[in-house]
A and B are shown apart, each in its own frame.
Chain A
Amino acid sequence: MMEKTRILLAGDSAVSVQFGDAIDPEIYARVRALYESLKGEKIPGVTELIPTFRSLMVQYDPRQLGYEQLKGQLEARLEKLGRAQQPPKKVITIPVCFGGSWGEDLEEVARYHDTTPERIVELFCSSEFLIYMLGFTPGYPYIGGVPRELVTPRLDSPRLKVPAGTVGIGGEQLGIYPIESPGGFRLVGNTPVRLYDPENRQTPVLLEAGEYIRFTSIGPEEYEQIRRQVEEGSYRCQIREG
């Protein structure tokens, strides 16, 4: 059963439209549907949309649009949602060098699951992972739908510095750190691909919510090769649509 959708107050200039209380692809599909609907046919006065796991934050300017007005318009949109068109699936391949100094917790994650590091890497590379949202730092993808054999608790105390490009696992979530930042995830590998590139003024961020990631395992030599291409600006991630 789908929970009733709730429009929650987040001050006088934002509401949070909450579709449920779980990380679940079906709930998320409704978040996306409302997001796409509001992006396509805009409500004047709405200033910003932040899609997250199970809710959509709608920020607005109350000088243009009162709360009751916004609520009425959102309810009308929600009623039509079922017919909203889902965009085609987009899968982006992220090359990752696993283990060693690239992912210092890989062996520990394997030990936690009583298996080999090779099996963990295989699990990483055999699924397409849905990016539920971006947040935390510019371009950071929140990835859910992690197979049970990968679910590993976060560190008790977060590291103060996790290098950019690090792929980690924390509880039921996977993440890739776009910039060096603190982090409590277990580190399993590193990608030479830039998720956030402030120099690129057109698309500073590589990934978008609603897209899928497929990891592919690369060795240190290929890592270096791709890193150089990324630096030159000639590397393009493999993208599959449809």
Chain B
Amino acid sequence: MGICVQRGGPLTTVQDKGRLGYQNLGFSASGAMDRRALRLANLLLDNEENDAVLEVTMVGPKFTFESPNCFVLTGADLKASLNGQVLETNRVYAAGAGDVVDFPQSFPSRGARAYIGFAGGLDLPPLMGSRSTYLKGKMGGLEGRGLKTGDRLEFLAPRPQLPNLEKRRLPEDFETVYGGRQVKIRVILGPQEDSFTPEGLKLFLNQPYRVTPNSDRMGSRLDGPVIPHKGRADIISDGIAFGAIQVPSEGKPIILLADRQSTGGYTKIANVITVDLPKVAQRMVGDEIRFEAVSVEQAQQWLRQEEEALEKAARAWQTRPSFWKRLLGAR
């Protein structure tokens, strides 16, 4: 037993950490766009780190619990409600059979993607080690597509009750802010930063770029001042990492995201640092981005600090020693 979908919303997909280890065969990694929100959802529910959640885009679905389970909303606050009562994000709730979760049909003010985690995860057959939906490949998740009316999703190992339910929330001061309509995104230059003129690099790091409507789970296409290349914009195709910023010959940057192609033949000016990827994933059309270059050492230090802060927060509700062993063993 699990949930029954009354309305799928424009794009609600099943996602986990992605299809890892198959990019060498041409598969997109996929997975949640906002990895921190995925991690938070699973941490708050004592789930496995890679349990599957629902990723909601802009406008949420409506569904009914067919059996009781605990659940949580993370990521952007899209003002979801449980039986008409507005829910807080980053806080675990217990739902009973027949309870209805609904999202308003208007656009949110802040952030593009919300995540719905269920205790024990969702029961779908993993494909190559992942339950993530890869839309362009029509694979993974629920038949490789977004949710629609009448779909049923089963819980894998539901836990209608969780210890310390009241404590399962993030402290108010916990940094989950995704910023306003103008954000700073930190990047590490490379691997092909020397393909651009010094003026081109200066423009990239000093001028604002806007998110265009041609953005999706594959990439965020930006508009702004043209970044000139020294020579050709094409390279011999090489590997692409999450957050790579490629600049094709027209000179407008594209940030490659969860459903990115594994390889590509355009010059990559920089790569978004891991702790700022959620910020990119939460951008809406028209938002303004300014890039700032940082060092790899600094970026990795921020990532370790973020991890420590998450673990510290989780101690407030986490009591099972096995959980800590697992968490520490994974490092």
Give the interface of A toward B (CB within 8 A).
8-14, 16, 18, 21-23, 47-57, 59, 62-64, 66-68, 133-140, 142, 178-179, 198, 201, 204-205, 208-209
- Determine if B263 and A133 form an interchain contact, defined as CB atoms under 8 angstroms apart: yes
- Determine if A11 and B304 form an interchain contact, defined as CB atoms under 8 angstroms apart: no
Which 10 pairs between the two chains have the least Cβ-Cβ distance? A57-B239, A11-B271, A135-B263, A8-B191, A50-B239, A14-B241, A12-B299, A9-B190, A134-B26, A62-B300
- Determine if B300 and A9 form an interchain contact, defined as CB atoms under 8 angstroms apart: no
Contact partner, B137, options A54, A55, A137, Cβ 8 Å:
A137
- Determine if A12 and B274 form an interchain contact, defined as CB atoms under 8 angstroms apart: yes
A to B contact number (C-beta, < 8 Å): 143
User: Which residue of chain A is the closest to B23 with respect to CB atoms?
Assistant: A50
- Which DSSP category, helix, strand, loop or mixed, fits chain B's interface? mixed
User: What would 23 A/B residue contacts be, using CB atoms closer than 8 Å?
Assistant: A8-B191, A8-B192, A10-B190, A11-B243, A11-B296, A13-B242, A14-B241, A16-B191, A18-B238, A48-B23, A48-B24, A48-B29, A49-B24, A52-B236, A52-B239, A62-B303, A66-B297, A66-B300, A67-B296, A134-B24, A135-B262, A142-B263, A205-B26
In the complex, B43 has a CB within 8 A of chain A: no
- Determine if B237 and A53 form an interchain contact, defined as CB atoms under 8 angstroms apart: yes
Interface size class of B (residues with CB under 8 A): 35 or more
- CB of B82 to closest CB in A, whole Å: 34
Contacts of B241 in A (CB 8 A): 10-11, 13-14, 57, 59
In the complex, B188 has a CB within 8 A of chain A: yes
Given A9-B190, A10-B244, A135-B261, check contact A142 B237 (CB 8 Å): yes
- Determine if B127 and A198 form an interchain contact, defined as CB atoms under 8 angstroms apart: yes
Contacts of B274 in A (CB 8 A): 11-13, 62
- Determine if A11 and B239 form an interchain contact, defined as CB atoms under 8 angstroms apart: no
User: Which residue of chain A is the closest to B273 with respect to CB atoms?
Assistant: A12
- CB of A35 to closest CB in B, whole Å: 8
User: Which residue of chain B is the closest to A71 with respect to CB atoms?
Assistant: B296
User: Which residue of chain B is the closest to A62 with respect to CB atoms?
Assistant: B300
- CB of A76 to closest CB in B, whole Å: 19
Contacts of B300 in A (CB 8 A): 12, 62, 66-67
Contacts of A47 in B (CB 8 A): 20-21
In the complex, B316 has a CB within 8 A of chain A: no
Contacts of B303 in A (CB 8 A): 12, 62-63
In the complex, B178 has a CB within 8 A of chain A: no
